[in-house]
Amino acid sequence: MANDHVWQQIEQLLQRASERVVLIAPFIKKEVFRAALAAIPHRVEEVQCITRWSVAEVAAGVSDPEIAEIAEADGRARILLCHNLHAKLYIVDGRCLVGSANLTGRATGRVPDANIELLLETEASHPEIQRTLDAIGLTSVPASVDLARQIREQADLLRADEDAPRVLVAGHGPTGARWLPETRNPERLYRVYNGRYRNIGTDVLAGVLRDLAHLDIPPGLSEQAFGEAVLAGLRTMPEIRRLFDVGALNMDDAKGELVTGGTCTEEQAQRAVETIAQWLNYFDEVHLVPVGPWEIRQGREIT
């Protein structure tokens, strides 16, 4: 191909490997991953691959969790997930390619209409490369074939949902309309996150998946860590920031902000603040005070 200069750089570097290969890219497509493994000599016994899997990004087609199955069949490759990964590095023994290119067809020039990308070769011992590897080591978690299949199944469900958030710019997460929590039963969130949704109706499940896609929570978290991530997402909502700033939130004020801001109608705003209250009650220590205009207050209710 005339436009596959980036792929030629990666392939030629991989072909020189004798001991160590590390592939680091947020987005990896299975065809390119398979070609990369094929380029690595058999004398290399261990290949490490660091990427990220987001249900919304997989639904958008920018990444393939099926690389886990390819890695398992190869026998040498190990997949790790780093949710906030944006770096692209390809390390072979003491050398490294660093730049903008993911392991996708368009990024490497293996398909028509290729991206304009850049990779530069340097020493793998460069301090900034080592700093990046240290940061990845602190936050990455092992992937698995089971997790890959779960991510794919949820991505397929999300892709079939016309109201789901879309990834408009690769690498910048889900974008779209202003998010407000949908599901009225927040205890369903972790169940669906873990792939346990066989007894949940289609419409309800779609709302839970939309909530999870907007929250963009890393895969593989414990229930406690998941709850902390949900709470962090709630803390970014301007309508409830006062609760965390001063310890109390007037629900009429929150509803008024939603209506005034044009986010929703008065009826939708009422439902939204009720849902937010349920989420906060489930994921945080808050309680409702039905005195005058109802308030959500932090801390357990004193009886």
Dump pLDDT digits (tens) for 5-64. Answer: 999 999 999 999 999 999 999 999 999 999 999 999 999 999 999 999 999 899 989 999
Region 141-159: what's the mean pLDDT?
A: 93
For residues 230 and 250, what is the distance between their CA atoms, to the nearest angstrom? Answer: 21
More confident residue, 302 or 219: 219
43: Cβ contacts below 8 Å, ≥ 6 apart = 17, 18
Burial class (CB in 10 A: 0-12, 13-18, 19+), 158: buried
Residue 170 has pLDDT above 80, yes or no: no
- Identify residue 112 by its one-letter amino acid code: P
Looking at residue 177, its pLDDT comes to: 56
Q: pLDDT by residue (tens digit) across 258-290? A: 777 666 788 887 888 888 888 888 888 765 565
The per-residue pLDDT for 173 is 43
Q: Indicate the pLDDT class of residue 168, thresholds 50, 70 and 90.
A: very low
In the predicted structure, residue 152 carries a pLDDT above the cut 70 = yes
Q: What is the pTM of this model?
A: 0.82
Over residues 60-69, the mean pLDDT reads 95
Mean pLDDT of 217-246: 83
pLDDT at 277: 82
145 or 264: which leads in pLDDT? 145
- Per-residue model confidence (pLDDT) at position 2: 52
Q: 5-146 has which CATH code? A: 3.30.870.10
Between 235 and 135, residue with greater pLDDT: 135
Q: pLDDT tens for residues 101-111?
A: 999 999 999 99
**What are the structural domain ranges in the chain?**
5-146, 177-298
Please provide the average confidence, as pLDDT, over all residues in the chain: 86
The pLDDT value given to residue 113: 87
206 against 91, higher pLDDT: 91
